[in-house]
């Protein structure tokens, strides 16, 4: 039996190779993601190795609000000189000294813009002295309040040298300094992880980076000879209490390196998304391939049964073939994944200045996962065809060809039940007041139900789609061929359907979100001009309050509302918060509408919020909420009022005085300007831009510019979606090619007869091309229909996230149909050439 299986496998190697390509792609993306992550993790670890080698231990206060992402770092509360004295008295401590080092110092280049980031954080601090880690390359350390030193990475990026003037943005507006020195790091490094560091004199660093609220950001600890770091750290933790954290130099390096890993996680997620699509679509390709092969081997399998092969041996035979296909595909996919990993590592490392790629590594987890995904997916997909092979009766040996297709009632009933359950959950979620979970639960059964019921609609659907081509004889023959075996056509089309459904659903959610945002901005935003950071950045941009005071006096400006955004904590959960310098002006320019209580005023000790936030927190007007801002102590606020959900303002709004004392920076990050009637917009804009020249992180935009910038975020998401579609369509091409190639082999005698009675080679090609295009279009149409419905359901579930308008991406849907037709044409080229070149006499006599 083993010999027969291997010979059967070798005789059909081309067909199995085509089905295996889908697994190659899936394994390539999975292993590529893991190789990239492992290689760059080791590269980052090497870059940060020794970054804090001059610190034995470091003591700092725990942040009041934990960081959620690298782009939203936590503010570490400062410590005073008394803590330095306390630490110095602990047994095992040789010396203790205060250090100022915090994120938030942004250097302004000679072009008046903030120096672009190089992949790491931007630090501001005090000079820690030369050591084995830090060495001055030019000039000297800051000796006066008007001097700064910069690391070599920043100096090169900004074109700075000793004696140049440089502007710096911190927790205070722009201030100018003279560059007194340029320093580097051990190992010839200009930067560690792409960070940019500006070093001030200690009093200036305390004022600018700590708001004068404390003396130091932490305490450096040097151990006495023979002292154990673990023992001293335990003693410090015991003496200082739970509000403080004691870290070793290695732990500090790991903490800093984590800030550089965000892009790794994003890249890994994208690649794993591609792998998921490849696996999902590849399953249908493998099922179809083995189903067709089993059907074409009917007499062979029946003969084996007649010779005594058991059902168990038949199942084992097919699964052995699938194991070999999965094994070979996994090996090829792993090799391709290593290549993708090497290329991706170098490209991503190039985005971080000074990051050198470590030697390429293939982690054991990548190898294990690659073969597990490849082999298990292939064998599971081949299981159902294997079960069908085991049911072949020995009497089938006298048949000339495969018997008629079964009715597959179990599949139909299963599909109907799943579709009904999914539809019930979707409808229930749509009418329920809080039905988002029901809608999400209904997506999978509804999708699986459609897949299982596809053979039921396959014949009428392809007949309808094929009517476009039915004016010619090849078109009629191609349409008939595509409708001949509904189950085979359905499985082949499912590969296209899954990919198109996925991207249509995501595109529908994106279109609904974009239309909702656009409509809300056009309806609510009364401001004619807006000053904000890149992509609406709230935490990184800052605006000089004094400049806003001068803008308020510019002729033509009738209302000015400036906001600061931050992250606070409610219990253990983070909460977006905002504050407005002039709440009345904010309500006017943002078009806020009251939804309960009073939003006309924002008195001390009160907070207002949008309806969705109140609902999520279980709050109503008059309730109290405990809110911990980045700075200061936790405070209790009374909910004074609610306003209608708005794209422009979400979360909680606290009084401006609390933002000045408690936000990471008391400076506004966005400003909205409403112009008086008859004011010249271009002239007013020019004057505003002039007054904001010392706030280079923000750009003055019109309302249409703001809408376009918000739309840009959706465009980026759609670009990733199109890449996913490309992967799905590539596998769909393989599936259609495989199906047509196997079908041509199955219909060899029939095609020989058609050629014998006068069908030309060109007509044969058009017949096969029609069949391919019809199958591809069937999958695309079904995918668009299913994806559109599921996308609308998901968009409806996102009403609390501001998706208030349901829209379909008609332009993309038409493009998907055109793309499917092109895929059908491309997939038909090789099978059509083979079919047209059949020897007529040999084909007629084929058995």
Distances (CA, A) of 62 to 155, 249, 606: 32, 17, 27
In this predicted model, what pLDDT tens digit does every residue of 409-422 receive, in sequence order?
Answer: 777 888 889 889 98
Contacts of 814 (CB under 8 A, 6+ apart): none
Identify whether the C-beta of residue 739 lies closer than 8 Å to the C-beta of residue 731. no
- Does the pLDDT at position 571 exceed 90? no
Nearest alpha carbon to residue 12 among 289, 286, 281, 282: 289
Q: How far is CA 744 from the centre of its chain?
A: 42
Place of tokens 């249409």: 704
| Alpha carbons 136 and 150: distance in angstroms, whole number | 10
| Alpha carbons 149 and 17: distance in angstroms, whole number | 61
| Range with top average pLDDT, 14-18, 180-184, 288-292, 825-829 | 180-184
Place of tokens 């189950």: 487
State the pairing for strand pair 101-103/573-580. Answer: unpaired
b or e along 295-329 (b: 16 or more beta carbons within 10 Å of the residue's beta carbon)? bbbbbbbbbbbeeebeeebbbbbbbbbbbbbbbbb
Q: What pLDDT is recorded for position 404?
A: 45
Nearest alpha carbon to residue 112 among 644, 695, 599: 695
In this predicted model, what pLDDT tens digit does every residue of 39-62 receive, in sequence order?
Answer: 878 777 777 766 777 788 999 999
Give the residue extent of every domain in the chain: 101-215, 457-523+712-847, 534-697
Q: Which residue has the higher pLDDT, 233 or 343?
A: 233
| Alpha carbons 648 and 322: distance in angstroms, whole number | 55
List the 218-223 sheet strands across, edge first.
93-99, 218-223, 57-61, 244-248
Average pLDDT value for residue range 91-101: 92
Give the least confident one: 145-159, 385-399, 628-642.
385-399
Task: Report the Cα–Cα distance between both ends of the chain, in Å, rounded.
Answer: 24
Give the least confident one: 12-26, 495-509, 566-580.
12-26
- Does the pLDDT at position 320 exceed 90? no
As a three-state string, the secondary structure of 583-616 is HHHHHHHHCCCEEEECCCCCCCCEEEEEHHHHHH
| Alpha carbons 461 and 492: distance in angstroms, whole number | 14
Identify whether the C-beta of residue 193 lies closer than 8 Å to the C-beta of residue 206. no
Identify whether the C-beta of residue 347 lies closer than 8 Å to the C-beta of residue 112. no
Nearest alpha carbon to residue 82 among 250, 240, 305, 283: 240
Identify whether the C-beta of residue 525 lies closer than 8 Å to the C-beta of residue 703. yes
| Alpha carbons 693 and 324: distance in angstroms, whole number | 67
Q: What pLDDT is recorded for position 538?
A: 44
Tokens of 266: 């994003």
* Residues above pLDDT 90, as percent of the chain: 30
Q: What angle do CA 241, 243, 246 make, to 5 degrees?
A: 75
In this predicted model, what pLDDT tens digit does every residue of 501-554 receive, in sequence order?
Answer: 888 888 898 888 888 888 888 888 889 999 988 644 445 688 999 999 999 999
Scanning 297-435, the segments in alpha helix (DSSP H) are 298-306, 311-349, 364-390, 409-431
Distances (CA, A) of 306 to 302, 394, 776: 6, 5, 39
In this predicted model, what pLDDT tens digit does every residue of 224-243 receive, in sequence order?
Answer: 998 999 999 999 999 999 99
Average pLDDT value for residue range 609-627: 92
């Amino acid at each position: 039996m083993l010999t027969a299986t291997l010979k059967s496998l070798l005789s059909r190697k081309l067909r199995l190779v085509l089905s295996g390509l889908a697994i190659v792609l899936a394994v390539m993306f999975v292993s590529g993601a893991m190789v990239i992550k492992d290689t760059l993790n080791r590269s980052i670890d090497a870059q940060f190795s020794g970054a804090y080698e001059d610190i034995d231990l470091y003591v700092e206060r725990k942040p009041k609000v934990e960081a959620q992402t690298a782009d939203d770092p936590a503010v570490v509360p400062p410590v005073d000189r008394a803590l330095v004295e306390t630490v110095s008295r602990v047994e095992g401590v040789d010396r203790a000294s205060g250090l100022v080092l915090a994120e938030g110092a942004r250097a302004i280049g000679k072009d008046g813009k903030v120096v672009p980031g190089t992949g790491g954080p931007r630090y501001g601090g005090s000079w820690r002295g030369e050591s084995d880690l830090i060495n001055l390359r030019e000039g000297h350390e800051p000796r006066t309040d008007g001097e700064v030193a910069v690391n070599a990475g920043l100096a090169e990026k900004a074109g700075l040298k000793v004696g140049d003037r440089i502007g710096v943005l911190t927790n205070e507006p722009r201030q100018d300094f003279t560059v007194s020195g340029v320093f580097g790091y051990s190992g010839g490094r200009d930067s560690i992880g792409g960070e940019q560091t500006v070093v001030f004199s200690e009093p200036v660093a305390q004022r600018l980076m700590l708001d004068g609220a404390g003396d130091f950001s932490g305490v450096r600890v040097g151990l006495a000879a023979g002292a154990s770091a673990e023992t001293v750290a335990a003693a410090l933790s015991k003496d200082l209490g739970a509000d403080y954290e004691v870290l070793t130099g290695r732990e500090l390096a790991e903490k800093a390196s984590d800030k550089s890993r965000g892009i790794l996680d994003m890249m890994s997620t994208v690649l794993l998304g591609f792998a998921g699509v490849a696996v999902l679509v590849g399953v249908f390709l493998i099922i179809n391939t083995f189903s067709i092969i089993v059907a074409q081997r009917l007499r062979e399998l029946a003969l084996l049964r007649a010779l005594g092969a058991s059902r168990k041996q038949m199942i084992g035979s097919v699964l052995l073939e699938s194991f070999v296909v999965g094994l070979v595909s996994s090996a090829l996919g792993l090799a391709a994944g290593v290549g993708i990993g090497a290329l991706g590592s170098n490209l991503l490392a190039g985005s971080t200045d000074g990051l050198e790629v470590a030697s390429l590594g293939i982690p054991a987890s990548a190898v294990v996962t690659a073969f597990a995904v490849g082999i298990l997916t292939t064998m599971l997909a081949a299981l159902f065809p294997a079960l069908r092979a085991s049911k072949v009766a020995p009497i089938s040996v006298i048949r000339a060809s495969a018997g008629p297709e079964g009715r597959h009632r179990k599949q139909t009933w299963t599909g109907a039940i799943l579709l009904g359950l999914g539809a019930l959950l979707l409808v229930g979620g749509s009418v329920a007041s809080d039905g988002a979970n029901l809608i999400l639960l209904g997506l999978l059964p509804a999708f699986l139900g459609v897949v299982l019921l596809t053979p039921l609609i396959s014949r009428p659907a392809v007949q309808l789609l094929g009517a476009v081509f039915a004016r010619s004889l090849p078109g009629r023959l191609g349409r008939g061929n595509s409708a001949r075996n509904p189950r085979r056509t359905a499985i082949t089309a499912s590969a296209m359907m899954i990919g198109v459904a996925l991207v249509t659903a995501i595109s529908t959610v994106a279109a609904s979100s974009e239309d909702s945002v656009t409509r809300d901005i056009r309806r609510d935003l009364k401001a004619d001009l807006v000053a904000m950071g890149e992509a609406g950045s709230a935490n990184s941009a800052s605006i000089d309050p004094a400049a806003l005071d001068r803008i308020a006096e510019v002729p033509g400006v009738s209302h000015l509302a400036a906001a600061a955004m931050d992250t606070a904590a409610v219990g253990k959960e983070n909460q977006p918060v905002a504050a407005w310098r002039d709440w009345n002006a904010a309500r006017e320019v943002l078009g806020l509408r009251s939804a309960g209580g009073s939003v006309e005023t924002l008195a001390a000790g009160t907070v207002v919020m949008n309806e969705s936030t109140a609902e999520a927190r279980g709050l109503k007007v008059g309730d109290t909420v405990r809110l911990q801002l980045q700075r200061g102590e936790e405070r209790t606020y009374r909910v004074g009022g609610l306003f209608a959900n708005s794209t422009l303002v979400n979360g909680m709004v606290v009084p401006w005085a609390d933002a000045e004392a408690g936000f990471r920076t008391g400076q506004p990050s966005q400003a909205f300007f409403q112009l008086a009637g008859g004011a010249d917009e271009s002239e007013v804009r020019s004057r505003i831009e002039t007054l904001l020249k010392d706030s280079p992180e923000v750009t003055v935009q019109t309302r249409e510019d703001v809408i376009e910038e918000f739309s840009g975020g959706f465009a980026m998401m759609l670009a990733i979606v199109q890449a996913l579609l490309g992967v799905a369509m590539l596998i769909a091409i393989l599936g259609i090619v495989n199906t047509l190639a196997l079908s041509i082999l199955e219909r060899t005698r029939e095609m020989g007869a058609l050629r014998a009675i006068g069908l030309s080679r060109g007509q044969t090609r058009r017949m096969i091309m029609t069949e391919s295009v019809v199958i591809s279009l069937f999958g695309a149409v079904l995918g668009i229909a299913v994806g559109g419905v599921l996308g609308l359901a998901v968009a409806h579930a996102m009403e609390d996230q501001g998706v208030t308008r349901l829209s379909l991406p008609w332009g993309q849907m038409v493009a998907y149909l055109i793309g499917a037709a092109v895929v059908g044409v491309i997939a038909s080229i090789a099978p059509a050439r083979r079919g047209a070149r059949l020897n007529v006499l040999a084909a007629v006599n084929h058995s």
